[in-house]
Amino acid sequence: MVGKSIHLWGEKMGVRHTDSLYTHGIAFPLHEVDASDDTQALVMICSERIAKDTNDVPTLIRELLETRGLQSKFIKSDNHLFLDSVSPLDKAIAQRFIQQRAGIIALINGKEPGDGTSALDQMTLHEGDTLQLLYRVEVAKTNISHN
């Protein structure tokens, strides 16, 4: 996918390098990108075409990940659910991108619902929609000291 681009958040991000991140015998596509923000890499967790309407997106995600041998961890913030991590992929990302922040984004038909402000329990999926879960890895922060 090098020389290609990924369209996300209304931006066309150039792909510098494509690789796979392996954990527990599963290969996850990893794309290092040139973005206008602090995004360094995107790791595809899963992409699934929805078979039937649902407004219980957290349960759908948990079941979808479990069928792939992955464990989901959700957090509650302001009485809403967000996907915090996916194991064992989270450990593989932490080893590859040491001391870099990574978070999970959920896309429906290639877009982040509510521009990233919608919690999973606020989303509705319809038959034929495509749900994608990705890890977004930030560029490493450097500590500059002035002596």
| Assigned domain for 19 exists | yes
Taking only the tens of pLDDT, the chain with its 147 residues reads 556 878 777 778 889 999 999 998 999 999 999 988 899 999 999 999 999 999 999 999 999 999 999 999 999 999 999 999 999 999 999 999 998 999 999 999 988 887 666 789 999 999 999 999 999 999 987 654 444
Q: 96: how many CB neighbours lie within 10 A of its CB? A: 16
* Residue-range definition of the domain harbouring residue 59: 5-136
Token code pair at residue 38:
């602090």
| Assigned domain for 68 exists | yes
> Comparing C-alpha atoms, which of 87, 114, 113 is closest to residue 102?
87
The residue count for the chain:
147
pLDDT of residue 3: 60
- As for how many domains the chain has, the answer is 1
Question: Residue with structure tokens 């959920």?
Answer: 106
> CA neighbours within 13 Å on the CB side: how many for 54?
17
| Assigned domain for 70 exists | yes
pLDDT of residue 146: 46
Number of helices (H) and strands (E) in the chain: give both, helices first.
2, 8
One-letter amino acid of 118: S
| Assigned domain for 147 exists | no
Q: For CA atoms 135, 132, 31, 10, give the dihedral sign.
A: negative
- The answer to whether 123 touches 106, Cβ cutoff 8 Å, is yes
pLDDT of residue 145: 47
| Assigned domain for 142 exists | no
Helix (H, G, I), strand (E, B) or coil at 144: coil
pTM of structure: 0.88
